[in-house]
Copies of this chain bind each other. A is one copy, B any other.
Amino acid sequence: MKTGNTETEVLQKFLADRRLNRSRVREEILDVFLRAERHLTADQLYQLARRRLPSVGYATVYRSLKIFCDCGLCRPIKLENEPVRYEHLYRHDHHDHLVCTRCGRLVEVFDPTLEQLQEKLGRKHGFQMERHRLELYGICPECRKKGGPDDRN
C-alpha cells in the first residue's frame, strides 16, 4: 500500500538526482520499514518484507537499507553484542541512547547542554565537529525494582 508521505518523496528525489530508477520492490520495503517499530535489524525487515514480497531476497533489503541511509531516512546503530539496527531519522530529532543492560530496553534521550559540551570538547582539540554518538548503559527503573540474581553486575 502506497502512502503519499514525505519520506517517499525524499527517496524519489534522491533517486531522481542520481538518475536511478524507482522500483516497486524498494518502495514496498520502504513502506514496511516506515510502518514498523523503530530499530529493526536487516533480518527483521527482511522477514516483514517477505509477507508482502514473498520472493524478495536479502541482498535487496540490504541494498534498499543502504539507499535509505544515504538519503537520510535512516541510520545504522550498532549497540554492543547486537546486530546492526536501523533507526528512523527523517523528521526525528537527534538524540542519544540510554540502554538497559538487563532487559535491553532502549530510551531516546536528549540534553542540549550535553550537546553543546560535546561540540565544545571537539573544538577544543581543533576538530571541526560533524556528529557524535553517545550510548549510556545502566539498569532501567523496572529492572532495578526487580533486583535479580545478577544485581551486582
- Measured CB to CB, the residues of A under 8 A from B are 78, 80, 96, 98, 100-101, 107, 109, 111, 113-114, 117-118, 121-122, 125-141, 144
A133 touches B134 (CB 8 A): yes
B109 touches A125 (CB 8 A): yes
- Which chain B residue lies CB-closest to A131? B137
A125 touches B98 (CB 8 A): yes
A134 touches B137 (CB 8 A): no
Q: Knowing A111-B121, A117-B114, A121-B114 touch, does A138 contact B134 (C-beta < 8 A)? A: no
14 A-B contact pairs sorted by A residue (CB < 8 Å)? A80-B133, A98-B125, A101-B130, A113-B117, A114-B114, A114-B121, A121-B136, A125-B140, A127-B138, A127-B139, A128-B138, A129-B136, A133-B137, A134-B134
